[in-house]
Structure 1
Amino acid sequence: MKSAAKRRVVAVLLALAIPAFAATVHAWGDIGHRIVAELAWRQLDPSARAEVQRLLKADGADSLADVASWPDHLRDEPGREALGKATGPLHYMDFRDGKCHYVPPRECPDGRCVVGGLEKYVAILGDRHASTADRAEALKFVVHFVGDVHQPLHAGNRDDKGGNDYQVQFDGKGTNLHRVWDSQMLYTRDLKWSAYADRLAAEGPVKLPRPIAPFDNPYAQWAEESCEIVAAPGFYPDSHRIDDAYVAHNLPIAETRLREAGKRLADLLNKTLD
């Protein structure tokens, strides 16, 4: 078995291989988004799965995992740069108070936040009068944004660009807190995304938090949950060092969020496409 030190080296090397823009855009990185998509795929009802397959095929894709990170790369896709720019604000949300209370006009003006992004693209996905191309595109956004809203630092309440401006040391290397959460902690398992999904699926059904009254908007609750994780004592290490104790405490939290995202994505697709 590899030592903790060796696993930290693997994490750092893999993180350094990520393009520099990843830290400012991605949530979970490719590995986390693929895990969420795969966990959701395994929990789809037959009718929803058939419709997902039809939409993926029409889009030239083979699996949910293959399209899970597509919205993060739009600005690099010829002819889609404008869409990437327009949808950029839909990947995250900044809470404006210390209590993680979602107030739409304040946190999501004109629907330009991850909650608004989910509302928009779930509606398109469920519209049987919309074109197949539009619905296939909406599916990719829905898969991605469900992952985004469950990454705690995509719905935080600090003015630091989701932890990108909070510099930390991880295994003696400089990085930032966002990158630690979107990929580096996950890489300490030293697993490929498919094996990681197997590991999380083997834990059995995840117990979801109870709905928070009086919300009729589950996406807002998912964002509030993320904000509360960020606001917890110790999430931002005062020492600016990510040590073994920090990973031991927070990696299970990150993995629970991945499992919750997979379950909620499956439930959302089952409801929308049934």
Structure 2
Amino acid sequence: MQVRSKINLPVILVLSFFLLFTQQAFALGKVGHKVICQVAFDHLSPSTQNKVNILLKELPKQDQKLINKYNYKSANSAISFADTCTWADAIKKNKSYDKYKKWHYVNVARNQTKVTPQTCQKNCVTSAVTLHKKQLKELPTSWKKLQAMMFLGHWLGDIHQPMHVNFASDMGGNRTKISVKHAKCNNMHWLWDECLLYPKSKTNNAALFTRLHNNLSNQWEKSPITTWQKDSVYTWATESLTITRLPSVLYCTIDEKNYCIATTKGITKLPSNYQKNHKIILENRMLQASARLANVLEQSL
């Protein structure tokens, strides 16, 4: 499969005015992942929604409790598809799932501008999407098939977060220290995971979920959904890499040999309008993730 060089024009226009996964980083936070999956679920056909709900019945009791604990809910609360999209983070302390830790991201060379099948053939987010899409489509209804669906819900969020298509040398932005007003995040990866979505350092998760869900839902009809859904997993990753390398992101500077060089060895002070401007980009990435996830589920169930 070849990379399509086109990047969605509206995204590039916005960008003109999104890793290496570590135990400390949770891509898009709990709320971001849940919003992506809820918006995708909202736009599934009734038949596919029903298939998703039937598959959720395969969830073991211990995993129901794990997901609820991770999301600060009572142990026996009903689990929605959106809830299950945090499962891939919730299992990280379980050693039996250790092999999946590398599947949350894809590393690239600092002079790389496109992600291709040759960039990574296993144990990264691009190969994870391909594998779990195949499993979801081919396996009979079972716990393993449900795992594939839960992983896919999470991977689609990860691959659209720019710092998850990044460089091993600085741990996907975790080593890039920043200073920004009205935010608790002190590194670039954490900022793009959570703080761009949070208007303040502390916020109510339910209120944030509602706001983000409404924002993405309102943009759905105005967006080129079917065009986004035609793109390949390598295009999705390339879009994230393109954002990572943008001057406005202040993550790195491009030298004469096209290498993305760290902006500073110290702390990068971000301008006061950084969050406002880049939140637009991140929310657009979330909407793209929702659109593409909905298409993957329609095709695979």
TM bin, normalised by shorter chain, reads: 0.7 to 0.9
Q: Which amino acid aligns with 2:125?
A: V
Residue 98 of structure 1 and its aligned partner are, at CA, apart by 2.4
Size of the aligned set, in residue pairs, is 243
| CA offsets 1:23-52 (integer angstroms, 9 cap, x no match) | 743210111101101110111111211110
Is the CA contact (8 Å cut-off) linking 2:220 and 2:287 kept in structure 1? no
Match among 109, 127, 130 for residue 138 of structure 2: 127
- Structure 1 gaps, min length 5: 1-20
Residue 65 of structure 1 and its aligned partner are, at CA, apart by 1.3
Match of 2:239 in 1: 225
- Taking a change above 3 Å as real, the CA distance of residues 217 and 24 of structure 1, as seen in their structure-2 partners, is farther
Match of 1:244 in 2: 272
Q: Which amino acid aligns with 1:195?
A: R
Q: Which amino acid aligns with 1:272?
A: S
- Taking a change above 3 Å as real, the CA distance of residues 103 and 197 of structure 1, as seen in their structure-2 partners, is same
| CA offsets 1:24-83 (integer angstroms, 9 cap, x no match) | 43210111101101110111111211110011122156311111111112133xxx4221
Is the CA contact (8 Å cut-off) linking 2:105 and 2:159 kept in structure 1? yes
Is the CA contact (8 Å cut-off) linking 1:160 and 1:166 kept in structure 2? yes
TM-score by length of 2: 0.74
1:123-272 matches, cutoff 5 A: 123-128=134-139, 130-157=140-167, 159-171=169-181, 175-188=186-199, 191-205=207-221, 206-208=223-225, 218-236=232-250, 238=263, 240-272=268-300
Is the CA contact (8 Å cut-off) linking 1:126 and 1:272 kept in structure 2? yes
Name the stretch that deviates more: 21-30 or 115-124.
21-30
CA distance in 1, matches of 2:107, 2:294: 26
Residue 97 of structure 1 and its aligned partner are, at CA, apart by 4.6
- Aligned-partner SS, 1:186: coil
| CA offsets 1:160-219 (integer angstroms, 9 cap, x no match) | 1111000001227661011111001101175421332012212233325957xxxx9711
- Aligned-partner SS, 1:98: coil
Q: Which amino acid aligns with 2:292?
A: R
Q: Which amino acid aligns with 1:204?
A: W
1:13-52 matches, cutoff 5 A: 24-52=24-52
Match of 2:89 in 1: 72
- Taking a change above 3 Å as real, the CA distance of residues 131 and 108 of structure 1, as seen in their structure-2 partners, is same
The runs of at least 4 consecutive aligned structure 1 residues that moved more than 3 Å come to 21-25, 208-211
TM-score by length of 1: 0.80
**In angstroms, what is the RMSD of aligned CA positions?**
2.5
Is the CA contact (8 Å cut-off) linking 2:162 and 2:240 kept in structure 1? yes
- Taking a change above 3 Å as real, the CA distance of residues 269 and 174 of structure 1, as seen in their structure-2 partners, is closer
| CA offsets 1:199-240 (integer angstroms, 9 cap, x no match) | 2212233325957xxxx9711110000000001112125571
Is the CA contact (8 Å cut-off) linking 1:55 and 1:132 kept in structure 2? yes
- Tell me the percent identity: 26
Is the CA contact (8 Å cut-off) linking 1:156 and 1:230 kept in structure 2? yes
- Aligned-partner SS, 1:126: helix
CA distance in 2, matches of 1:97, 1:22: 19
CA distance in 2, matches of 1:103, 1:264: 18
